[in-house]
């Protein structure tokens, strides 16, 4: 994953635990503290997912939902299996909202993001 380091530092503003930033950008252990560049689409994973793994909150220069998710997965590869199934589609119990609207393509994840888009990824809750 170290091959992402320079590109990631140049493209993503991270609000993530230092351990995640160090894995993504090993040559810069204080990258998060310095405020990594770019303010574009914001992606947030809700607290339900935080119970299982570390989830970054970040701003990415992504044009699609898939690209934004891939940036998050670059910081924490374990997150991928909680969000996507083995076919690379959103899991049945996960939903993504882009600017307050549910994503329309759960398979290709090619919903378009604007530079100021806000993406929220939620894991459905069930019970009685």
pLDDT tens, residue by residue, 94-119: 999 999 999 999 999 999 999 999 99
Which among 51, 50, 58 has a CA at the least distance from the CA of 21? 58
How far apart are the C-alpha atoms of 113 and 106, rounded to whole Å? 15
Q: What strands, in cross-sheet order, belong to the sheet with 57-60?
A: 13-15, 57-60, 41-45, 118-123, 94-98, 101-102
Quick one: which of 64, 73, 72, 71 has its CA closest to 115? 64
CA distance readout (Å), 43 to 58, 73, 77, 84: 6, 12, 16, 15
> Residues with Cβ < 8 Å from 82, sequence gap 6 or more?
49, 52, 53, 91, 94, 123
User: How far is CA 101 from its chain centroid?
Assistant: 17
pLDDT in tens, the chain (128 residues): 333 444 444 444 555 444 444 444 433 344 444 444 444 899 999 888 888 888 888 899 999 999 999 999 998 899 999 999 999 999 999 999 999 999 999 999 999 999 999 999 998 776 65
Q: Which two tokens stand for residue 72?
A: 């998050």
Place of tokens 């950008």: 25
What is the reported pLDDT for 50?
Answer: 80
């Amino acid at each position: 994953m170290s091959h992402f380091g320079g590109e990631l530092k140049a493209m993503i503003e991270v609000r993530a635990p230092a351990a995640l930033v160090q894995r993504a950008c090993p040559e810069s252990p204080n990258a998060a503290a310095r405020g990594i560049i770019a303010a574009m689409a914001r992606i947030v994973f809700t607290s339900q997912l935080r119970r299982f793994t570390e989830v970054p909150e970040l701003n990415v220069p992504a044009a699609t939902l898939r690209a934004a998710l891939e940036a998050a997965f670059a910081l924490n590869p374990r997150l991928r299996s909680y969000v996507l199934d083995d076919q690379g589609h959103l899991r049945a119990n996960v939903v993504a909202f882009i600017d307050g609207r549910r994503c329309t393509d759960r398979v290709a994840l090619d919903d378009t993001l604007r530079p100021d888009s806000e993406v929220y990824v939620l894991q459905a809750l069930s019970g009685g």
